[in-house]
Chains A and B, each alone.
Chain A
Amino acid sequence: MSTLVRAVSWLVAVALMAAAMWLHGAKPRQDSKLLDPIASRGRVGTVVGNRVFSVQVDRVDVAAAIVKDDILKRTTVPSPGLFVIVYLRIRSNQKPFMPGHARLTTRGGLSYDESGRPDVSGRTSNYEPMFWAPASYVFEIPKDRLAGTRLILGESSLLNQLSAEVDVDLGIDARKAADLIGRAPHDYVLKTT
């Protein structure tokens, strides 16, 4: 009996130690998941908002190359994949608001930040309560990742735990993605208004 009790005690001790090790590894992941930004979901063309800000995506363009006209020359910026240009309007709902953490997510779970190319940057500013103002974001993704893309936009603070976020379905299915890729221009000019 004593040997049985001792064996059971050892098994319980080993199980508890294994559980402690698992919890030690799982807790940070769980904590970060609990503190994820709180997303409001919507579709292209509709107003998606929360108590901090609202967003309406007006149109989505796709380009194989973007041209930029300077005073002396015209610069062409080609992409090995695709440029996805998202035009939207943003309104603050409370205080002056600066958007941030913008990214494009795809069906495969991959997430793309804004294109880091200095010549083809988007346009954002400070947004005030009760006034809609235009904005644009330029992303660069592989061609086979266009279908099912979603725009995610949050607040600009570095630590964005539990902050407000919008998640907008850009409405690009497989058929529309193939159509957009086939018609992607090589001389796209970013719109400024």
Chain B
Amino acid sequence: MTFDPYDQRPARSRAPRDPYERTVRDSYEHTVRDPRPPGTRDPLEDTVPDVLQPMGEEVAASRAKGGRRGRRLIEAAALLVLAPGLLVVQWVDDSHQAANMQPPERGTTVRRGQTGVLGHAQWRLLGRDTTVPARSSTTPAGAVHIKLILQVRPLDAQGVKNAKTTGYRLRDGAGHEWTGVPIGPDPVAGRTTQMAVTSDVPAALVNSVLLAIWQKSTTETGSSLHGLVFAH
């Protein structure tokens, strides 16, 4: 006689079963199989099928088509925004790079005999020294050696530093520029120093070229050229 420990009853005599069939009884079986008769169920537990759920094939296809169309519209709108946006970003980036490579020039014209301020220093063009020889051994054919006298008065130590890094050019009205070579003592803060700027320019333009001085300033946002152009 066998004894089923879960049944608590003596097992009836029967043919030996497959041992794999001798599974234990599910203790939660009552939750799966409601033992109550149908009339005694809680009415709230009886649900009705959702009338919206069982869509027909046409409705489902129509909805899917509408969804695809909306998605395509969103994608097209995103493309229309992103493609020009990418071009604008590239253009702005290239512009910044170009501006750093060739900084914009900001020049101020100083009237004849007047004093201009550049880089914490006062600058004044006294005029052309006509006592120097018009030609030397290094003067190119057709050129004239020109010497301009310039005064500089640094207002502070920064002005002295800036004055030492100043660039000198002579310009004509057609946009040509010739190198100017500064000659003179180092400027001193608070004192007026006289210096000369020499250059070789075409003989026909010797009376029309203008002296331009430039200083490059670099900030976090980029660099720029500030300068003075002396009329004489």
Contacts and interface: CB of A to CB of B under 8 A. Distances in A.
Interface of A: 94-96, 126, 128-133, 159
A29 to B, nearest CB: 18
A130 B206 CA distance: 13
Nearest to A91: B140
B143 A96 contact: no
A126 B142 CA distance: 17
Interface of B: 101, 140-143, 169, 175-179, 200, 202
Contacts of B141: 131-132
A183 B202 CA distance: 42
Q: Name the residue among A95, A126, A132, A133 with the largest chain B CB count within 10 angstroms.
A: A95
Contacts of A95: 169, 176-177
Contacts of A132: 140-141
Contact of B142 (A94, A96, A131): A131
A16 B56 CA distance: 37
A106 B141 CA distance: 35
B101 A129 contact: no
B213 to A, nearest CB: 15
26 contacts: A94-B175, A94-B176, A94-B177, A95-B169, A95-B176, A95-B177, A96-B169, A96-B177, A96-B178, A96-B179, A126-B179, A128-B140, A128-B178, A128-B179, A128-B200, A130-B176, A130-B202, A131-B140, A131-B141, A131-B142, A131-B143, A131-B200, A131-B202, A132-B140, A133-B140, A159-B101
Contacts of A94: 175-177
Contacts of B101: 159
B176 A129 contact: yes
The DSSP consensus for interface residues of chain A is: loop
A132 B141 CA distance: 8
Contacts of B202: 130-131
A96 B177 CA distance: 7
Q: Name the residue among A131, A132, A133 with the largest chain B CB count within 10 angstroms.
A: A131
A129 B200 CA distance: 10
A129 B178 contact: yes
Contacts of A130: 142, 176, 202
Q: Name the residue among B101, B179, B200 with the largest chain A CB count within 10 angstroms.
A: B179
A184 B200 CA distance: 40
Contacts of B169: 95-96
Contacts of A126: 179
Nearest to A159: B101
A133 B143 CA distance: 12
A58 to B, nearest CB: 16
A156 B179 CA distance: 17
Q: Name the residue among A96, A128, A132, A133 with the largest chain B CB count within 10 angstroms.
A: A128
Contacts of A128: 140, 178-179, 200
> A-B pairs with the 6 shortest C-beta distances?
A131-B140, A129-B176, A95-B177, A96-B179, A128-B178, A130-B202
A90 to B, nearest CB: 12
Q: Name the residue among A96, A126, A129 with the largest chain B CB count within 10 angstroms.
A: A129
B212 to A, nearest CB: 11
Contacts of A131: 140-143, 200, 202
